[in-house]
Structure 1
Amino acid sequence: MRIEIKVKDRIGISQEILAIFAENRWNIRSLEVVSHFIYVHFMSSKLALIDVQNSLSHRDDIVHCLSVDLLPTQRREAHLKTLLDTIPDPILDIDQNGIIVIINTAAQSLLKELAFTIEGQHIDQYIDQSFQAMLNSSVSNFSLSFLEHSYLADITPIFSEHSSSGVILTLRSMNRVGQHIALIQSREQAEFDNIIGENSAIRLLKSQTLRFSELELPVLISGETGTGKELLARALHNASRRADAPFLALNCAALPENLLESELFGYAPGAFTGAQKGGKPGLFELAETGTIFLDEIAEMSVYLQAKLLRFLQDYKYRRLGGTKELTANVRIISASHQHLPQQIERQLFREDLFYRLNVLNLSIPPLRERPDDIILLAAHFIKMAALQVARKVPTLTEQALAALKTCQWPGNIRQLQNILFRAVALNDSGVIEKSDIDGALSQFSAVDLPISHNTADSVESDNNIVEQLQWSDWHSAQEQFEEDLLKALYPLYPTTRKLAERLKVSHNKIAMKLRKYHIS
């Protein structure tokens, strides 16, 4: 039985009450005293509350004597345990000798197959690293294997009177980490309702994508730059059975070969100079049960193409520098604005990898082939732009709309969005005229260029670009010429290596100039 005694606070009252209990020979299991309150836990099961109340009834310094479920310390412990058990990540309390003291419910759920408890045992029996090495390391988070499963671990020291008394080890599953990364990558809604368009080709594309979402096969999305390939890939993922799992996107043209390889496959501890001490998981681990979107797949090196092909055969891989074979449960969606069969003919893309990736195919039509959808897209982007710049939504004149519909839109939907955002941001009248559209288009004429699937078309576009560039005098022309030239050619040659080959200069010079003019 547990009781709460409220008293009038004065020196010695606790001792007097305990003396009364001692006279009655009542065994006490625990006692807590706080200001104005005395909490007592009696061991005897036969003792009744009325007996205690009668023993104290003659005292006028006692306000009340009530029965309680828990003592304050027990109540705090219960709340703390409830708090720990609501945390979805496994948590282990480990003392300074590596002995597991206590674990939460999430950690217990990992031990269902074990016929014994791990509390009281050494942590080294269940992880692939030395606990003492982790304790001596300056790294507070790293990847490790616990009961043959990979986790990202956070280690938090516990100090008692300026000395370490153990650590708290928190294990985060790769799937949960991947979900957090996916949330950071994009918080935009990516459902089929967000794919704007009533064109017959767009309706067919939506229906095909919806059917493909039910399958577990690789998908290859083709389409010119700016057509919304990633939006379509996200919509496909969100309509699939993997919707609650991570969707992780990686642009294959944005990273050099060695970094791209480590991003995909991860690396083991000490795999190379400068590597994190605890190693690093790759996207194949972080996207477990989810989807990986490989954008600009044509920019992947032949070496990585071979490695990706090997992965797609059985979805098994090893981290860089690692020996343990891992298995990934992911769906691969890839995309490219280039014509991959032509890249195969030029021996820039592996034919066998193409067949692996092109099991299901989606082709997004360019904006110039769906002029009627420009009305819907324009209304959507104008509303978005007005919201961002905190202005009233302007109206679009018939002449301005006609100008939008007659434009070829080499940069597709992305270019249309940029043009309308600029027009709204600079508009003060509340009406967007044709002159506003023409002025915005003129600012992008040297930058937004068509990406053709044909090499001859690309060369012709290349020549047109150079002819369109203009400059005034020698003093101001050189830097302006460099900036315009790089902005114009970079969409056609979207890697520093290709652009350097086109302009017949060093790779380092191109990289330096791109940084100088903030071109990416």
Structure 2
Amino acid sequence: MRISIESTDRIGISQEILAVFAQQAWNLKAVEITSCFTYAQIEQEGLQLADVQKSLSGVSGIVRIKEIALLPAQQRENHLQALLDKIPEPIIDLGKHGEILAVNQATKLLIKAHESERDSAKELDYIGKPIADYIKPLTKNLITDSASSHAITINSKAYIADFSPVYASTFDENKQTNQAITGAVVVLRSMHTLGRQISLIQTHHRHDFNAIIGQSNEIVLIKEQSKRFAELDLPVLINGETGTGKELIARALHQASPRAKSPFLALNCAALPEHLLESELFGYTGGAFTGAQKGGKPGLIELAEGGSLFLDEIAEMSTYLQAKLLRFLQDFSYRRVGGTKELTADVRIISASHQNLVQLIAKQAFREDLYYRLNVLNLTLPPLRERASDIALLAKGFLTNAVKQVGRGLQAEDVYLTEPALALLQRFSWPGNIRQLQNVLFSVVALNKGQAISASDIQQVLAKYDSEHSESKAETTDQMESKEIKDWASAQAKFELELLQQLLPLYPSTRKLAERLGVSHNKIAMKLRQHGIG
């Protein structure tokens, strides 16, 4: 029986109540005392509430006595346990010697899976026992005076164990307060959970197929193929020039797949040297190399558990890492850098490259066996110059975003392209594809003082790209081997053709182009006819 005794705030009343219980020789299991309330749990066979009320009738100041379901501390513990059980991550409260004080439901399930032979009827027997008896990687040695994180493996699955020390105040001989460690709270974060959190941090915008702008036949076909590929849990290789939206397609593929609720993580293979790329991809154990974190670090393959991993510029990966990636694709097992344990991960690999991998295979710069592993499903994205009909839609979206970012008191609907400006955009070759179009329009909005964007506004920004591109092209031309040049006439003709193709979109009339190149109008007209440029 659990009872609540409400009373006036009188000194000594709780002692009198407890004295009555002692006189009755009742088995008192628990007592709680607060201002104006005394709570008690009495284990006495045949005891009735009326018996308690009668025995306390002689104590002055008692207002009301009633039976309750739980004592306040028990009720708080129940609420706290319910709260902890709602958390999907295993949480363990440990004493200073590593003994289990409390766990949530996720921990019980983890222990049950880890100790499969344990009788489920005895699942609470581990309270007060060393945690290492049930989850071996967790030992009392990991409890320190500062928060720490450790990479551990349980049931062949990787976790990050976050240890937070628990302190209690003690007093020394001089009555000075000291903080002593009484244990630690451990939170086990699965790679899936960590990967999902990282994925959400990296993703700020919608990445489904509706975010892919375009109505041309080329882009409609890509969307249809991608949607079919999304349903197939197989590797996908995406080919396309720089700036064609390979990562956007990869994200849309993931979002439309059964893995949509799991992480999508991306890694540019050209951005890191080999040793850093290896540890970023596969992770490393503590002490694997100089500067390695003490507890090790999970790689993107671990963090992408259950989801998708996008490997951009896959052609830039060294042959050593190509071999290691191939091994993972064969049976989805791998080892961390410096590690000996075999780990597994359920991850879909989506890769991309702007280079011709078949040509690289012929040059022995890319592994043929890896190519066939990656190229189970294939998408080839068209360059922007082959889908010029989509430029109007793309430009509208980019202008809206640019106006929002640049500001200047303008509304997105007030800024527009004139017809000649749009025509100029549609004629340009766009070597940098969609990314270059976006950057050009952002620059135009930043520089433009009015609402209407004219062809001259576009031409001014494109001229800067033209100058930079010409310098880069000149450097490349200087490096050409002499065997590629047949004779003077063919080299001159090739130069004229490329020059006219490059400048005509920027200077769309023969007179403007002649003025730009400092030659006569008739010469430009003749050269255009000679090279078949209309």
Q: TM-score range by the shorter chain?
A: 0.7 to 0.9
Across the aligned residues of Structure 1 and Structure 2, the Cα RMSD in angstroms comes to 2.7
| CA distance, structure 1, for counterparts of residue 440 and residue 148 of structure 2 | 47
CA deviations over 1:15-34 (Å, ceiling 9, x no partner): 33334545555543222111
In the TM superposition, what whole-angstrom CA distance separates every residue of 1:357-382 from its partner, at most 9, and x where no partner exists? 11111011111111111111111112
Match of 1:155 in 2: 163
Asked whether the equivalents of residues 145 and 165 of structure 2 are also in contact (C-alpha less than 8 Å), the reply is no
Query: Which residue number in structure 2 is paired with residue 411 of structure 1?
Result: 432
Distance change >3 Å, CA 433–CA 86, structure 1 → 2: same
What residue is the counterpart of 2:232 in the other structure?
A: 215
In structure 2, relative to structure 1, the CA distance for the partners of 1:114 and 1:293 (3 Å cut) is same
Question: Closer, same or farther in 2 for the Cα pair 1:120/1:464, shift >3 Å?
Answer: same
Q: Give the aligned partner of residue 515 of structure 2.
A: none
Are 1:224 and 2:241 an aligned pair? yes
Higher mean C-alpha deviation, range 430-439 or range 21-30: 21-30
Residue 477 of structure 2 corresponds to 463
1:403-430 Cα deviation digits (max 9, x unpaired): 2212211111111111222223334433
Residue 254 of structure 2 corresponds to 237
Task: Summarize deviations over 1:41-64 as a string: whole Å, max 9, x none.
Answer: 232364343444455567773443
Q: Distance in 2 between matches of 1:200 and 1:220?
A: 21
> Could you tell me how far 1:94 is from its partner in structure 2?
2.2
What's the CA shift for 1:332? 0.8
CA contact (8 A) 2:10 2:61 kept: no
Question: Alignment partner of 1:3: what SS?
Answer: strand
Structure 1 range deviating more: 209-218 or 94-103: 94-103
Who is 2:211 aligned against?
194
Q: What is the TM-score when the length of structure 1 is the normalising length?
A: 0.81
- Correspondences of 1:23-172 after superposition (within 5 Å): 26-44=26-44, 46-53=46-53, 61-110=61-110, 111-112=112-113, 113-116=116-119, 117=123, 118-127=126-135, 129=137, 131-135=139-143, 140-160=148-168, 161=170, 162-172=179-189
* 1:380 and 2:406 are equivalent in the alignment: no
Asked if the contact 1:126/1:147 (under 8 Å) is kept, the reply is no
Kindly indicate whether the alpha-carbon contact (under 8 Å) linking 2:243 and 2:434 is maintained by their aligned counterparts in 1.
Answer: yes
The whole-number CA distance in structure 2 between the counterparts of 1:234 and 1:7 is 65
User: Take 2:99 and 2:16, find their aligned partners in 1: how far apart are those partners?
Assistant: 43
The answer to whether 1:397 aligns with 2:418 is yes
**Separation in structure 2 between the aligned mates of residue 413 and residue 233 of structure 1, nearest angstrom:** 16
Aligned residue number for residue 470 of structure 1: none
Q: Work out whether residues 93 and 166 of structure 1, in 8 Å CA contact, stay in contact via their aligned partners in 2.
A: yes
Q: Are residues 1:269 and 2:286 paired?
A: yes
Task: Give distance in 2, aligned partners of 1:313 and 1:383.
Answer: 46
* C-alpha separation in 2, matches of 1:405 and 1:297: 31
Q: How many Å separate the matches in 2 of 1:20 and 1:124?
A: 47
Tell me the residue number matched to 1:475.
none
> Of 452, 474, 478, which residue of structure 2 is paired with 1:431?
452
Answer yes or no: is the 8 Å Cα contact 2:285–2:297 preserved in 1.
Answer: yes
Alignment of 1:289-328 (within 5 A): 289-328=306-345
User: 2:411 is matched by which residue type in structure 1?
Assistant: K
Q: Secondary structure at the match of 2:143?
A: helix
Q: 1:139 to 1:42 in 2, by over 3 A?
A: closer
Find the aligned partners of 1:442 and 1:395 in 2 and give their Cα distance.
Answer: 21
TM-fit CA distance, 1:225 = 0.7
Number of residue-to-residue matches in the alignment: 459
Q: Return the alpha-carbon distance in structure 1 between the equivalents of residues 227 and 425 of structure 2.
A: 30
- Aligned residue for 1:8? 8
The secondary structure found in structure 2 opposite 1:32 is: strand
1:128–1:144 contact (8 Å) kept in structure 2: no
CA 1:130–1:197: 2 relative to 1, 3 Å? closer
What SS does the aligned partner of 2:324 have? helix
Q: Which moved more, 1:22-31 or 1:202-211?
A: 22-31
Per the TM alignment, residue 460 of structure 1 is displaced from its structure 2 partner at its CA by: 7.4
Identity of aligned residues (%): 55
Cα distance in 1, alignment partners of residues 323 and 428 from structure 2: 41
**C-alpha contact 1:190 1:238 (8 A) present in aligned 2:** yes
Give 1:208 deviation, angstroms: 0.6
CA contact (8 A) 1:385 1:420 kept: yes
Q: How does 1:444-459 map to 2 (within 5 A)?
A: 444-446=465-467
Q: Within the alignment, does 1:258 sit opposite 2:258 as a pair?
A: no
Structure 1 stretch 424-433 or stretch 99-108: which is displaced more?
A: 424-433
* TM-aligned CA deviation for residue 281 of structure 1: 1.5
Correspondence for 1:345 among 362, 371, 376: 362
Between structure 1 and structure 2, the one with the greater Rg is 2
- Which residue of structure 1 lines up, in the alignment, with residue 526 of structure 2? none
Segment drifting more, 88-97 vs 51-60? 51-60
Residue identity opposite 1:431 in structure 2: A
Aligned partners of 1:134 and 1:249: how far apart in 2?
32
- TM-score (norm. length: structure 2): 0.79
Contact 1:446–1:465 (8 Å) recurs in 2: no
Unpaired runs of 5+ residues, structure 2, are: 171-178, 481-534
Q: Secondary structure at the match of 2:477?
A: helix
Post-superposition Cα deviations, 1:151-186, rounded to whole Å, max 9, x if no partner, equal: 111111222332222222211111111111111222
Question: How far does residue 389 in structure 1 lie from its aligned partner after superposition?
Answer: 3.4
**Aligned: 1:440 with 2:461:** yes
Q: Quick check: 1:6–1:36 contact (8 Å CA) kept in 2?
A: yes
Q: Is the 8 A contact 2:137 2:154 kept in 1?
A: no
Aligned in 2, Cα 1:198/1:37: closer, same or farther, shift over 3 Å? same
Secondary structure of 1:309's counterpart equals helix
In 2, Cα distance between equivalents of 1:198 and 1:326: 44
TM-superposed deviation, 1:241: 1.3
Provide the rounded CA distance (Å) in 2 between the counterparts of 1:443 and 1:49: 92
Closer, same or farther: CA 321–126 of 1 in aligned 2, 3 Å: farther
Q: How far apart, CA to CA, are the structure 1 residues paired with 2:80 and 2:61?
A: 34
Matched residues in 2 for 1:293 and 1:369: separation?
26
Shift of 1:304: 1.3
How far apart in 1 are the matches of 2:273 and 2:22? Answer: 80
Question: Counterpart amino acid of 1:442?
Answer: A
After superposition, the Cα gap between the structure-2 partners of 1:448 and 1:204, relative to the gap in structure 1 and judged at 3 Å, is farther
Secondary structure at the aligned position of 1:212 is classed as helix
1:449 Cα deviation after fit: 8.7
Corresponding residue for residue 442 of structure 2: 421
Report the residue type matching 1:444 in the other structure.
Y
Letter of the 1:333 partner, please give it: I
Unpaired runs of 5+ residues, structure 1, are 451-457, 467-520
Aligned match of 2:297: 280
Matched AA of 1:340: L
Counterpart of 1:416, as a letter, is L
Superposed displacement of residue 67, structure 1: 3.0
Q: Distance in 2 between matches of 1:28 and 1:138?
A: 41
Give the Cα separation in 2 of the matches to 1:465 and 1:87: 62
